[in-house]
C-alpha cells in the first residue's frame, strides 16, 4: 500500500476519534481538540491527492477510498450538528443527499467511460462546509460567531444545491441511455 492510500486510511481512522472527542461530554477542551482533528483530517485529503498525483501513485483503491473517506468525515460531522441541535436536520439531509446523488452520478459516468472532475463550485461548497464545520465544532457562542455560523450554514446549503444542478446540467448526456 502506497503512502497516499495510507494517509486516506488514517483519515478514516480519525473519524471515530473525532466523534469520541466531540460527542463525549466533559473532555477538557473537547471542542478544540475535535476541531483540530477535523482540520487535520481535511488537510490529509489535500495531502494524499497531491502526493498521489505528483508521484504517479494514483490507484483504483485511492480513487474509491479517498472520496468515500471525505464523505464519511463530513457526514459524521454534519450528523453530529443535528444531534447537538446546531443545524436543522432538513439542511443536513439536503447536503448529504447531494453527496449520494453525485456519487451515484459519477458511478454511472464511470461505467460510460466518463470521468467527472470536481467543479470550482463544488470546491467552494467543500470549503464553505469545512469552515462551517470548524465554526460549529468550536462553537464560540459569541454573537459575531453565531452570525458567521448561520452565514456558512446557508452558504453551504446554497452552494450544495448550485453544485448539484451544475454537475447534473453539465453532464446531462451521461444520464441519457447509451448503447454500447
- How far, in Å, CA of 147 to CA of 151, rounded? 6
How does the average pLDDT of the chain come out, rounded? 92
**Cα(126)–Cα(106) distance, integer angstroms:** 17
Is 180 a residue whose pLDDT tops 60?
no
The x, y and z cell numbers of residue 26, run together, are 466533559
Widest pairwise Cα distance in the chain? 59
Burial class (CB in 10 A: 0-12, 13-18, 19+), 28: exposed
Residue 177: pLDDT band by 50, 70, 90 thresholds?
Answer: low
Instruction: Phi first, then psi: give them for residue 2, nearest 5 degrees.
Output: -80, 170
The pLDDT value given to residue 30: 97
**Model confidence pLDDT, tens digit, residues 12-67:** 999 999 999 999 999 999 999 999 999 999 999 899 989 999 999 998 888 889 88
CATH class of this structure's domain 3-175? mainly alpha
Q: At residue 162, does pLDDT exceed 90? A: yes
Q: Once rounded to an integer, what is the mean pLDDT over residues 147-164?
A: 97
Q: What angle do CA 13, 132, 67 make, to 5 degrees?
A: 40
pLDDT at 176: 75
Tell me the whole-structure pTM to 2 decimals.
0.90
pLDDT given for residue 179 in this prediction:
47
Residues 92-118, mean pLDDT to the nearest whole number: 87
Amino acid at each position: 500500500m502506497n503512502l497516499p492510500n495510507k494517509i486516506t486510511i488514517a483519515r478514516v481512522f480519525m473519524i471515530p476519534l473525532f466523534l469520541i472527542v466531540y460527542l463525549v461530554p466533559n473532555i477538557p477542551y473537547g471542542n478544540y481538540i475535535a476541531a483540530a482533528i477535523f482540520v487535520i483530517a481535511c488537510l490529509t485529503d489535500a495531502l494524499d491527492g497531491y502526493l498521489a498525483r505528483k508521484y504517479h501513485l494514483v490507484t483504483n483503491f485511492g480513487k474509491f477510498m479517498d472520496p468515500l473517506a471525505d464523505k464519511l468525515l463530513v457526514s459524521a460531522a454534519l450528523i453530529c450538528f443535528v444531534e447537538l441541535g446546531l443545524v436543522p436536520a432538513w439542511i443536513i439531509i439536503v447536503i448529504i443527499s447531494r453527496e449520494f446523488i453525485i456519487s451515484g452520478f459519477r458511478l454511472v459516468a464511470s461505467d460510460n467511460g466518463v470521468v467527472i472532475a470536481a467543479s470550482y463550485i463544488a470546491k467552494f461548497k467543500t470549503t464553505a462546509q469545512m469552515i462551517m464545520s470548524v465554526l460549529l465544532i468550536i462553537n464560540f457562542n459569541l454573537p459575531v460567531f453565531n452570525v458567521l455560523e448561520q452565514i456558512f450554514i446557508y452558504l453551504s446549503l446554497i452552494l450544495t444545491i448550485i453544485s448539484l444542478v451544475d454537475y447534473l446540467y453539465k453532464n446531462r448526456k451521461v444520464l441519457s441511455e447509451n448503447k454500447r
